[in-house]
Amino acid sequence: MQQAQNTKDKVSMRQLAMLYIITGFVPAIRFLPSYTALVAEEASWVSPVIAIIPIGITIFFLHKIFSRSKDKSTFDIINTILGKYVGNFMIFIHLVWVLFLLAYYTRLHGERLVSAVFPSINITFFIVIALVVTSFVLRSGATAIARMGEFITPIVILMFIFLTVFLLPKVRIDALLPVYFNDTIPLIKASLGTFSLFSYMVILLMVSTKITGKEKTAKTWIEAGLVYFIMLILLIVMTVGLLGSTVTSRAASPFLIIAKQISILDTIENIEAIVVAMWLLSDAMLIATMALVSLNIMKYFFKLSDQRNIINIMLVFTYIFSLGIASNRFEIDTFASNIIIYFNTIVGFGTPALLYIVGTIRKKI
Amino acid sequence: MKRFLVISILLILSIILISCSQLTGSRAEIDKIFNTRIIAIDKIEDNKVLYTITSKAGIAAEQGQQAVKTTTIITSEGATVFEAVRNMLQYAHKRPHYGHTEFILFGEDTAKDGILPYLDFISRNQEFRYNAKIYIVRELTANSFLEKLNSGDLYLADRLSIIEDNSNKLSKSGRVTLAEALFVFSKENVSTFLPVISIAPTKAGESPSEGKYDMILKDYAIFDQDKLFAFLDDELSMGVNWVKNRILSGVILVDAPDKKKVAMEIIQSKTSIKPYIDENGLQCTISIKFNTNIAETMSTEKIFTIESIDILKQLQEMQVKKDVENILNYAQEKDMDIFGLVSNFVMKYPMMKNELRANWRELFSEIKFKVEVDSNINTTYVIKESATSK
């Protein structure tokens, strides 16, 4: 039984990278064009490039930490480097944060569908559907979710490329230029948006205790990062280039707005269903992945032999928390731009940096 | 057992999703949906909104007769556009759906008061698309424009769509989408232009037909922020299209040596704008290159000689230069940058971005323009000489 459970948990670093592309792309579509357009206006599309520097440093830290601890789980590595008490405290902070993100993204999944596609449907309907699906998926274990990621990520990328082909020629250059030295400060601030999304990489490393291919950490994440960066730059170029920075910064779903403008040879229109399909597939992966990370941390933290026993309890908690997290969309948006972005940045950069510095001083890596 | 349970749940959910109107309130049968293609917005007394929507309502033809293609028009009133939309549901025979809205019309008086407050609902509502086109109705309310034109020869939206496509052949107007309009309205100190439609009695012989009207799409209306400022005439509107690189085709009339008209058809055109700042202040060179074909000559002179072609070339260049200079002078007199030239200057001088944008109204009127026009006459059509040339 235990052996079967272990097989279900095996995930390769490459699969994690694929999962990252899809889980990072959902919040990017919703949040990045509006946030970067508000902060950096025409220059917003350059902001992912600025984020490459801190992300490169983070990948370096992670490679140093993980490549020399092939047989240890992320939790073991944290405890080895920081010691039992501080390490467990760090893991606990991550648990609280991931549970919060799980509830937040579950709520956003419902909010987005209600505000953009189905305005007259009760949000709980979408939240319950998402959690029921997640409940079934979680029972299959990390390996099954990672394989789902391997299958769904290329589909989502292909959908995105398809939309890009029709949207890119409509982009207005005057909406994207000028970019100059006086944009440096806004660009640094806007790059925080991209970097905060990169923090999910650290969270994903807790998806399983059996991660293989750690020796290729840097190579795998640089490759995935490049694909992700290109997608982010195209995403911002298309939204800001078509709507302008002012309209983009005020739009709740700018990518859906521009997708609705696609007309193929003045004949085929209304293909925004592709965007909705992208949302649903990516949301399903994001929620399932966050739930899996939460379960895995809880399993480690509470020394559980089988995490399946707590799936339903956790999802009921997620349901209640997702509805109670905010009373309306405005509160959620304020919360995202005032708290989540900064906490993500601290977790995303702080955890690897702390582990690397302490590990180097204590000669544990 | 577990698999049976999962399949049962999925089946139940599927049945609920497709048939339970309580749960999915937005569900509607296709024959009960009013697919709106044109919406018209007018401001009426007490600051209320008159909201009009149209859709196809063909009446089947009897044997040997042509089908009558009338358009169903529904109107509603409200304190805001949204209230008018909801008030309409009290008597509309079908549920309006706005996902296929192609045209948004504003009456002249409404446009003079500003169109942005009315665009808020359209840009916010999840059913509308940002590629819907905006038009300003001249001398009428948008509602009466639709009512007068609904004669039954062609669906109104089809009629507007055909005229819109045909307008490319003249380049005396154009199309502006909701996305483009919002893009410009969001810019400080920049004006914009929107195409104008109007009606005129249909002529049968020399006298107008009783109760029948033609839909005319020509000219631009220019806006100071979101308020209608003035209507441009044919030549000024074409001047706008030359500067904005929106000329697709068109006609240039020049005089042959015997003062008879020669019609040139514009085949290709390209406008480039080069802004620069020097000790003389802001300057801007507008370079236009275009090609034409000789489409018609009413002259009996031989105009297809090298010398005559050169003269025609110079004449057409002078004509275009005059159109462009006229619209530039007009815009500068009114302190209205309807061309969005601030973007060209900001792109060239990014360090001056804030200063240029903040003071653009004053700066725009001080720009010294230089218009350079270069053209070529490519060819003519199936006969080389005039059929009546000497």
DSSP string, B54-119: EEE--BPPPTTSPPB--EEEEEEEESSHHHHHHHHTTT-SSEEE-TT--EEEEEHHHHHH-SHHHH
Reported as a pLDDT band with limits 50, 70 and 90, residue B205 is low
- Subunit contact B23:A125, Cβ cutoff 8 A: yes
* pLDDT on residue B83: 95
- Number of domains comprising chain B: 2
| Residues composing chain A | 365
Identify all chain A residues contacting B12, using CB atoms and an 8 Å cutoff: none
pLDDT in tens, A16-70: 888 888 888 888 888 899 999 999 988 999 999 888 888 888 888 888 888 777 7
pLDDT in tens, A81-113: 888 899 999 999 999 999 999 999 999 889 888
Q: Is the pLDDT of residue B64 over 80?
A: no
Q: Is the pLDDT of residue B76 over 80?
A: yes
pLDDT in tens, B212-263: 888 899 899 999 988 999 999 999 999 999 999 999 999 999 988 888 899 9
Q: What is the mean pLDDT of residues A162-190?
A: 89
- Subunit contact A260:B6, Cβ cutoff 8 A: no
Which of A294-298, B149-153, B311-315, B373-377 has the least mean pLDDT?
B149-153
List Cα–Cα distances, B209 to A148, B198, B203, B212, in angstroms.
68, 17, 6, 6
Residue from A246, A256, A271 to probe the interface with B (highest B Cβ count within 10 Å): A246
> For a pLDDT cut of 90, what percent of chain A falls above it?
21
Q: Does residue B205 sit at the A interface (CB-CB below 8 Å)?
A: no
pLDDT in tens, B308-318: 889 999 999 99
* Shared domain check, B106 and B187: yes
Q: Does residue B187 sit at the A interface (CB-CB below 8 Å)?
A: yes
Q: DSSP string spanning A19-78?
A: HHHHHHHHHHHHHHHHHHHHHHGGGGGGHHHHHHHHHHHHHHHHHHHHHT-TTS-HHHHH
- Subunit contact A178:B9, Cβ cutoff 8 A: no
Query: Which residue, B201, B231, B261, sits at the end of a domain?
Result: B231
Indicate the helix (H) or strand (E) that contains B355: helix B353-358
Q: Does residue A280 sit at the B interface (CB-CB below 8 Å)?
A: no
* Shared domain check, B253 and B227: no
Identify all chain B residues contacting A125, using CB atoms and an 8 Å cutoff: 23
The tokens describing A8, both together, are: 């279900």
pLDDT in tens, A208-223: 777 787 778 888 888 8
Report the CATH number that the domain containing residue A321 is assigned in CATH.
1.10.4160.10
- Secondary structure class of A261 (helix, strand, coil): coil
Q: Quick check: is B15 in a domain?
A: no
CB of B189 closer than 8 Å to CB of B342:
yes
- Subunit contact A178:B130, Cβ cutoff 8 A: no
Cα-Cα-Cα-Cα torsion A295, A296, A302, A304, nearest 10 degrees, comes to 90
* Shared domain check, B361 and B324: yes
* Residue B305 or B41, more confident: B41
- Please, which residues 157-196 of chain A have a Cβ atom closer than 8 Å to chain B? 172, 174-175, 177-182
List Cα–Cα distances, B257 to A70, A210, A272, B254, B265, in angstroms.
90, 90, 58, 10, 19
Q: Does residue B358 sit at the A interface (CB-CB below 8 Å)?
A: no
Q: Quick check: is B5 in a domain?
A: no
Cα-only R_g, chain A: 20
* Shared domain check, B169 and B65: yes
How many residue contacts between A and B have a Cβ separation below 8 Å?
67
Q: What's the longest Cα–Cα distance across chain B?
A: 98
Q: What is the mean pLDDT of residues A298-311?
A: 83
Note down the domain range covering A196.
2-361
Q: At how many degrees (to 10) do helices A184-198 and A13-40 cross? A: 150
CB of B127 closer than 8 Å to CB of B179:
no
Identify all chain B residues contacting A119, using CB atoms and an 8 Å cutoff: 26, 126
- Please, which residues 213-252 of chain B have a Cβ atom closer than 8 Å to chain A? none
Instruction: Report the alpha-carbon distance of residue A204 to residue A66 in Å, rounded.
Output: 13
The tokens describing B249, both together, are: 């085709």
Question: For residues A300-322, b (16+ Cβ closer than 10 Å) or e, as one string?
Answer: beeeeeebeebbeebbeebbebb
Q: Does residue B281 sit at the A interface (CB-CB below 8 Å)?
A: no
Q: DSSP string spanning A197-228?
A: HHTHHHHHTTS-SEEE-GGGHHHHHHHHHHHH
Q: Does residue B186 sit at the A interface (CB-CB below 8 Å)?
A: yes
Q: Is A266 left (phi over 0), alpha (psi -120 to 50) or beta?
A: left
* pLDDT on residue A1: 46
- Number of domains comprising chain A: 1
Instruction: Report the alpha-carbon distance of residue A275 to residue A112 in Å, rounded.
Output: 12
* Shared domain check, B318 and B171: no
Q: What's the longest Cα–Cα distance across chain A?
A: 66
List Cα–Cα distances, B185 to A103, A254, B280, in angstroms.
38, 17, 31
Q: Across the beta sheet with B261-278, what order do the strands follow?
A: B251-255, B261-278, B281-297, B368-380
Among A279-288, B4-13, B137-146, the range with the most confident prediction by mean pLDDT is: B137-146
CB of A117 closer than 8 Å to CB of A260:
no
Q: Quick check: is B16 in a domain?
A: no
* Shared domain check, B179 and B90: yes
Residue from A138, A170, A247, A266 to probe the interface with B (highest B Cβ count within 10 Å): A247
Task: For residue B257, say if its preceding peptide bond is cis, omega within 30 degrees of 0.
Answer: no
Mean pLDDT computed over every residue of chain B: 87
Alpha-carbon gap: A174 to the closest alpha carbon of chain B (Å):
6
Q: Does residue B347 sit at the A interface (CB-CB below 8 Å)?
A: yes
pLDDT in tens, B339-383: 999 999 999 998 888 899 899 988 999 999 999 999 999 888 887
Identify all chain A residues contacting B351, using CB atoms and an 8 Å cutoff: 180-182
Note down the domain range covering B302.
243-390
Which of A288-302, B4-18, B274-288 has the least mean pLDDT?
B4-18
Alpha-carbon gap: B356 to the closest alpha carbon of chain A (Å):
13
Report the CATH number that the domain containing residue B310 is assigned in CATH.
3.30.300.210
Q: Is the pLDDT of residue B16 over 80?
A: no
Q: What is the mean pLDDT of residues B104-117?
A: 93
Residue from B13, B183, B188, B225 to probe the interface with A (highest A Cβ count within 10 Å): B183
* Shared domain check, B170 and B259: no
Which of A114-128, B106-120, B218-232, B274-288 has the least mean pLDDT?
A114-128
Q: Does residue B8 sit at the A interface (CB-CB below 8 Å)?
A: no
* Shared domain check, B265 and B214: no
Q: Which of A121, A132, A180 sits opposite B25 (nearest CB)?
A: A121
Instruction: Report the alpha-carbon distance of residue B156 to residue B332 in Å, rounded.
Output: 38
Q: What is the mean pLDDT of residues B39-58?
A: 88
pLDDT in tens, B156-181: 888 899 999 998 899 999 999 999 99
Q: B275 has which bridge partners? A: B284
Residue from A257, A266, A269, A276 to probe the interface with B (highest B Cβ count within 10 Å): A257
Identify all chain B residues contacting A176, using CB atoms and an 8 Å cutoff: none
CA-based nearest residue in chain A for residue B188: A246
- Subunit contact A178:B13, Cβ cutoff 8 A: no
* Shared domain check, B284 and B171: no
Identify all chain A residues contacting B25, using CB atoms and an 8 Å cutoff: 120-121
Q: Is the pLDDT of residue A274 over 90?
A: no
* Shared domain check, B345 and B260: yes
Identify all chain B residues contacting A263, using CB atoms and an 8 Å cutoff: 131
Q: Is the pLDDT of residue A329 over 60?
A: yes
Q: Quick check: is B237 in a domain?
A: no
* pLDDT on residue B77: 94
CB-based contacts of B153: which residues, under 8 Å, 6+ apart? Answer: B69, B159
Q: Does residue B23 sit at the A interface (CB-CB below 8 Å)?
A: yes
* Residue B213 or A1, more confident: B213
pLDDT in tens, A10-22: 888 888 888 888 8
CB of B177 closer than 8 Å to CB of B130:
yes
Q: Does residue B68 sit at the A interface (CB-CB below 8 Å)?
A: no
CA-based nearest residue in chain B for residue A260: B129
CA-based nearest residue in chain B for residue A242: B179
CB-based contacts of A168: which residues, under 8 Å, 6+ apart? Answer: A234, A237, A238
CB of B51 closer than 8 Å to CB of B81:
yes
Identify all chain A residues contacting B6, using CB atoms and an 8 Å cutoff: 136
Indicate the helix (H) or strand (E) that contains B306: helix B306-333
Residue from A38, A117, A180 to probe the interface with B (highest B Cβ count within 10 Å): A180
* Shared domain check, B210 and B107: yes
CB-based contacts of B232: which residues, under 8 Å, 6+ apart? Answer: B193, B219, B220, B221, B222, B240, B327, B330
- Subunit contact B126:A242, Cβ cutoff 8 A: no
* Shared domain check, B257 and B224: no
Residue from B20, B26, B126, B185 to probe the interface with A (highest A Cβ count within 10 Å): B126
Q: DSSP string spanning B194-222?
A: EEEEEEEEEEETTEEEEEEEEEEEEEEEE
* pLDDT on residue B376: 92
- Subunit contact B129:A260, Cβ cutoff 8 A: yes
Mean pLDDT computed over every residue of chain A: 86
